[in-house]
Structure 1
Amino acid sequence: MKTRYRKQIPQKGQPTTGRGGFTLVETMIAMALGIVLLGTLYGILSFQDHSFHVQEENTDMIHNARSAMDLLFREIRMAGYHFNPLLKAAAGIIAADAQAIVFTQDLNGDGDTTGAGESITFALQTEGGIQKLMRTSGGASSPIAVYVEALAFRYWNDAGNELASPVASPDQIRKIGITLTTRSIHPDPGYPQNGGYRLYALTSQVFPRNTSP
């Protein structure tokens, strides 16, 4: 005698057991959560990338200013240098104003300042929309700092009085104040000042060793 089994059909509203997969609602919720997580991750990575580039530009800006100021200090301090004191040439500060300085040295001791590298000028120059601090000597110019926002020279005599610029008698100069300001290469949208450009300023005072009478 055969035993018959009757298949049970689930009633309406009764949960079915043993069914695999996800419902449409579950899938949509999972997708929404995934999009939120991806958006959050993208925001974190973008912020880190932006912070890295800002820090990198700040480092370059500071190094740019410091290396240029170091060269300015060392070379201006040697203005009027005479290799041979017995052949004292007419070396010294030739011209001085608020944004440029020209001086000479007798490096080879021949009694004049016409030799290679014996006349030096520091001044600003703009090339391709980029302002640079240039060092000119022997007719050749080379940048010692780029993306320069400002350069300012101030001058004092041996009595401590500040001299008006341009200095009428450069041979009276005994102290020189230098302020050099560089800026970042690109503007930072999150930085509200200076059109988004970050600035770095250095100030130094130089006492030329060879300009005393």
Structure 2
Amino acid sequence: MKIIFTVIYLLAALIVITGFYIQVNKYLRSMVMTQALQSFIIALIAFLLGIALRQYTFFILGALVILLRTVLVTYFLASKIPKNKNYLYESKLPTTYYLLVDLAFIVVSIFIVYSISFIHIVSLIFPDSDIILFPLLLFFQGLFIIASRKRTIAQILGYIEEENSLILLGTFILPVPIIIESSVFLDVLVLVVIFSIISIEKTEHKPVEELRG
């Protein structure tokens, strides 16, 4: 079981790396595909927890993540990128600046939130509760993407990252009932539907402009 938990730690760290890649990536289709990889890694973590804990609910969770997030959400998002513009990107994207600001923002946010709200939370699954830092990192990465990017697709990916972080956090803290996980998936699907409507009218938003549905 220690080997499985070690692999899960490495996969959780890889999820955070995909979040940084999405942040500095200016090509929209590549960002969408990276989101699919991020969701697939979350599903893989669920499968590993199912094997380690011998609980079938984690296998159901992993299957739902692959079906709804890795496949359906990715398909809907990719379909909004014109086929004749597969390399559509955000011009003049200061990737180095965004990466440095993202790191500073995350470090400060994690220090404040974790030290105040999460320091006394004990994971019922992992012996070391510090693993909840990974979903917290992912959450603030998604928040920074929403605030810093202009493209609607990029901002939607920020929302999806936040949803992924909530699933990961709930999975690490305790086995969340499948109905709660299902509601999160439905929220994402509703968000994609809203995106399909508003993207017809506008494909870019200012960094401080709020998406409304």
Note whether the superposition's TM-score is higher than 0.5. Answer: no
Interval containing the TM-score (normalised by the shorter chain): under 0.3
> Greater strand percent: which structure?
1
**With structure 1 as the length reference, what TM-score do the two structures score?**
0.23
Larger Rg: 1
> Greater helix percent: which structure?
2
Higher relative contact order (CA 8 A, sep 6+): 2
